[in-house]
Amino acid sequence: MTVLNVEVDAREAGFDAARLQRIDAHFARYVDDGRLPGWLIEVSRAGQIVHLSTYGWRDVEARAPLTPDTLFRIYSMTKPITAVAAMMLYEQGAFELKDPVSRWIPAFADIRVYRSGPALKPVTEPVREPVRIWHLLTHTAGLTYGFHHTHPVDALYRAAGFEWGMPPDLDLAACCDIWAGLPLLFQPGAEWNYSVASDVLGRVIEVISGLTLDRFFTERIFQPLGMTDTRFWVTGEDRARLAALYSPQPDTGRAVRNDALDRFAGPQPRCCPGGDGLVSTAADYHRFAQMLLRGGELDGVRLLSPRTVRYMAQNHLPGGADLERLGRPLFAETTFDGAGFGLGFSVMLNPVANKVLCSPGEFAWGGAASTAFWVDPAEEITVLLFTQLFPSSTYSLRPQLRQLVYQALVD
């Protein structure tokens, strides 16, 4: 188990130490007034940690403090890891980005597209082109999530048992076959919609590699990078390190415990999804972010080439559109204006349009329990925010953290 520590003086790294403390003062208020249980924030530059702070509780009821070794449900921060895994196979020539998904999941050969009608009797039409690998990586496949609650197809996902999580009796292959039997929201490549696309991509990884997704992650990514605490389930003594999950009370906004959604503290699940399945620590995800910042390599271990990482961090949305133009106005882990989407994470195209202080070319993503990370190649910065408040759209934690990090950068 690796524990984070500050590695460089703030001034030496180009930060003003007093301005960095504004981060802690600002976010401490969220804990003091009960809106968050606790948090960990880490800022690094040029590979060295310049700011590390924790505040509050990993378990409010037990008065267990949040510590640097706390385990967090990272939900959709699993998606960039799945994207890296897929691109590792891409670099081996295992597929082309234009390849149809049906090559590995035959059920996708017969998929149809929603045209009109209610969930009980939808009218559908054939796809004009197949769902391709790049559609999965960019969330332009036409797939969806049951928790969106905005479209008849969302209701079909819920009726099939998919809202927050998977039916416990299904493995990833069975889930993909069910999704392929439901209509797409739109023709592949026509729009952007946050979805189970990364889970389907995880199944493609399984078929190509011959390994279950958890084994591929462990053997090809986690062990080589020294990510010893990242996994799909938590057992034994490690359960004491797993932070409790909280949600805002509707009338007061105070964080209240939400054990109903805690699917991570039990035995090994039958389905290890590529979209939202992992538990991790800040130390582990710091190593993953550093690998991306360094162009696919860390401590002599290379997972991807620098050109592949740069390619992933370009905007791959059709016509160079941002999410405001191409995305549906649904729940997402990013604001839409000025933000594109690459192969596995959001990409900042225009900070002025986004109205948040940051750098063009920054790539990022977050999770449903309000966790987040970003990588800024221009400033050589990586940042982590770890907390456990569900859902992530409750407060504007991520843009607030951006403005506070960059106002402290003074070189």
196-208: pLDDT as tens digits: 999 999 999 999 9
Residue 302: C-alpha distances to residues 123, 150, 219, 283 (Å): 48, 42, 14, 19
DSSP summary character for residue 409 = B
143-175: pLDDT as tens digits: 999 988 889 999 999 999 998 888 888 999 999
Q: Which pair of tokens denotes residue 278?
A: 């992992």
Q: What's the rounded Cα separation, in Å, for the pair 107 and 136?
A: 15
Residues making up the chain, counted from first to last:
411
Q: What is the CATH number of domain 17-80+212-407?
A: 3.40.710.10
Residue 335 has pLDDT above 90, yes or no: no
Cβ burial of 64 (10 Å; 0-12, 13-18, 19+) is: middle
Residues 75, 369 contacting (CB under 8 angstroms) = yes
CB-side exposure of 153: number of CA atoms within 13 Å? 23
Transcribe 225-290 into DSSP letters.
Answer: HT-TT-BS---GGGGGGBPPPEEE-TTT--EEE-GGG--SSSS--S---TTT-EEE-HHHHHHHHH
47-81: pLDDT as tens digits: 999 999 999 999 999 999 999 999 999 999 999 99
Nearest to 20 by CA among 319, 411, 404: 404
254-263: pLDDT as tens digits: 999 998 877 6
176-185: pLDDT as tens digits: 999 999 999 9
- Tell me how far apart the 2 most distant CA atoms of the chain are, in Å: 63
So what's the architecture of 84-209 in CATH? 3-Layer(aba) Sandwich (3.40)
257-294: pLDDT as tens digits: 998 877 665 667 788 999 998 999 999 999 999 999 99
**Residue 393 confidence class, pLDDT cut points 50, 70, 90:** confident
Entry pTM: 0.96
Q: What is the pLDDT of residue 266?
A: 60
Q: Which pair of tokens denotes residue 95?
A: 């597929």
Q: Which residue intervals of the chain bear CATH 3.40.710.10?
A: 17-80+212-407, 84-209
How far is C-alpha 112 from the geometric centre of its chain's CA atoms? 27
Q: Which pair of tokens denotes residue 299?
A: 């401590």
